[in-house]
A and B are shown apart, each in its own frame.
Chain A
Amino acid sequence: KNEVEQSPQNLTAQEGEFITINCSYSVGISALHWLQQHPGGGIVSLFMLSSGKKKHGRLIATINIQEKHSSLHITASHPRDSAVYICAVRGGGGADGLTFGKGTHLIIQP
């Protein structure tokens, strides 16, 4: 069973700061997902990665398969980025459903 660890658990930063959230997993995977959850519960998929790096607007996600590690970066952070960011992994070959990290609570202060 994959173990997914996220750090930090909580992060408070000032508007404009560069944010990094880390995710480590224990067993080889077929894909890693970064999700965003706002108060109220709705979850939005930000990225799905199986290798390399992806960028969407101010968000960048990277994954190192050999080191079993992924990072989510937010550039020029804004108060609307305040949310819970969740890392989730899918087992190799697609076997098993997603295994989730406990999430990072991010607050961006104006």
Chain B
Amino acid sequence: KAGVTQTPRYLIKTRGQQVTLSCSPISGHRSVSWYQQTPGQGLQFLFEYFSETQRNKGNFPGRFSGRQFSNSRSEMNVSTLELGDSALYLCASSPGTGFWGQETQYFGPGTRLLVL
């Protein structure tokens, strides 16, 4: 099976712009989570989706949003970009068939966003 794919892999934006990142989970996986990784804060949880519903949301401002489609693919959007949004954005998928919160997560390669 193909792994988790994320597009684009690299992105450069300027302050004030918005950006959309895409994640395609492993075939058959229904749960997708998004994470932000920065040198200062490390890895932080953004959102979790299951069957097109947001199940959990991390402590991020409303500029960060996401959605999941019926084919389990997911997108996240950041509006009004700030310099501090520069980060590696990772998505991970899991089957969604086991106990909630007790499944191995399979990570994508990430999208590296630079905000100038």
| Chain A residues in the interface with B (C-beta under 8 A) | 30-31, 33, 35, 41-45, 48, 50, 86, 88, 90-91, 93-103
B109 touches A31 (CB 8 A): no
B105 touches A100 (CB 8 A): no
Q: Which of B37, B44, B88, B107 contacts A44 (CB 8 A)?
A: B107
CB-CB under 8 A for A98 and B107, given A31-B101, A41-B88, A41-B112: no
Task: Find the residue from A33, A41, A50, A97 having the highest chain B CB count within 10 A.
Answer: A97
CB-CB under 8 A for A97 and B112, given A48-B102, A48-B104, A102-B42: no
Bound CA span A35–B42, Å: 13
Across-interface contacts of A30 in B (CB, < 8 A): 99-102
Known contacts A41-B90, A97-B45, A102-B42; can you find 13 more A-B pairs with CB under 8 A? Answer: A33-B105, A42-B107, A43-B92, A45-B106, A86-B43, A93-B100, A94-B99, A95-B56, A95-B101, A98-B43, A98-B45, A99-B45, A100-B44
